[in-house]
Structure 1
Amino acid sequence: MVVSTISPGRQFFDKHLETITAGKIDEMVDRDYTEDAVLITFFNGFENTPAPMTINGRKNIKKFFHDYLKTIEYIDIKSLDFTEAKGAIFFQAKFTCKLGLVSVGDAWTMRNGQIAYHFGFWV
């Protein structure tokens, strides 16, 4: 019998994705990000805000994700590569959204079970 276990990092990622796709942005940020978290993103879907963007703190990260979800509307993952190392989570994915098929890559540096630094790439 083969027993497959899902790592804590993958469980964290799955819950993060589930919460954001459900539109529960405030819940996701409060649970998943440190109070002083920094999000650096190359998302280029905002008309008046060019990439890259550096967003500091939960309040501003919530605003970013509310605007992000309004812009992309939905996430339908087509492929996902995931790995983790002590204190960090890395993934790249292709998904469809209102903007079409996109490729993303993210690196999360964790502190006490929450994201302290979130680096996001968007192609």
Structure 2
Amino acid sequence: MTTAIASPSRKFFDAHLEAIAAGKIDEMVDRDYAEDAVITTFFNGFPDRPAPFTIKGRQEIKKFFHKYMSVIGNIDVKTLDFTETETSIFFQATFTSNLGLATVGDAWYMQNGKIAHHFGFWV
């Protein structure tokens, strides 16, 4: 039996999820996001911030992820579809969290090995 070797993009993705699961939000953002990165998200779990909304810069992205994780709690991935291009990472997943079963999809536009623009979809 042969084992497929993970691409650099898949390794980046796996390390990103591992950092989130370990609660290393600030470390993950500093490592994975460009200084001027942008997140546009349809996450609708914040009662004080209706979706969609856009976040700019690492400090605001850190605040978003800390708040996001406080709302959803742990992520237990049930399904994951992953693909990539030379400049982008795309995935769709279903997972359970404090909000129940969710389906998400993300597209990350990469520049210089970091996420420059992160589009997030939440169902």
Shorter-chain TM range is over 0.9
SS of 1:77 mapped into structure 2: strand
- What does residue range 41-120 of structure 1 map to in structure 2 within 5 Å? 41-120=41-120
- The alignment yields a C-alpha RMSD, in angstroms, of 0.8
Q: Which amino acid letter does the alignment assign opposite residue 102 of structure 2?
A: V
- Displaced runs of 4 or more, over 6 A: none
Aligned to 1:32: 32
d(CA) in 2 for partners of 1:85, 1:51: 27
Counterpart of 1:4 in structure 2 is 4
In the aligned structure 1, how far is the partner of 2:89 from the partner of 2:24? 21
Question: C-alpha separation between the residues in 2 aligned to 1:104 and 1:84?
Answer: 16
Q: How many equivalent pairs are there?
A: 123
Distance between the aligned counterparts of 2:38 and 2:115, measured in 1? 9
CA deviation profile, 1:58-83 (whole Å, cap 9, x unmatched): 00000000000000011000000000
Provide structure 1 residue ranges, at least 5 long, that are not aligned to the other structure. none
Structure 2: runs of 5 or more not aligned: none
The alpha carbon displacement at 1:97 in A equals: 0.2
TM-score of the superposition, structure 1-length normalised?
A: 0.98
Instruction: Give the 3-state SS of the residue equivalent to 2:94 in structure 1.
Output: strand
TM-score of the superposed pair, with normalisation by structure 2? 0.98
User: What fraction of aligned residue pairs are identical, expressed as a percent?
Assistant: 67
CA displacement 1:77-120 (0-9 Å, x = unmatched): 00000000011000000000000000000000001110000000
**Per-residue deviation at 1:42?**
0.2
For 2:33 and 2:17, how far apart are their aligned partners in 1?
Answer: 13
State whether structure 2 residue 29 is matched by structure 1 residue 15.
Answer: no
- 2:43 aligned counterpart, secondary structure: coil
What code does the residue aligned with 2:93 have? A
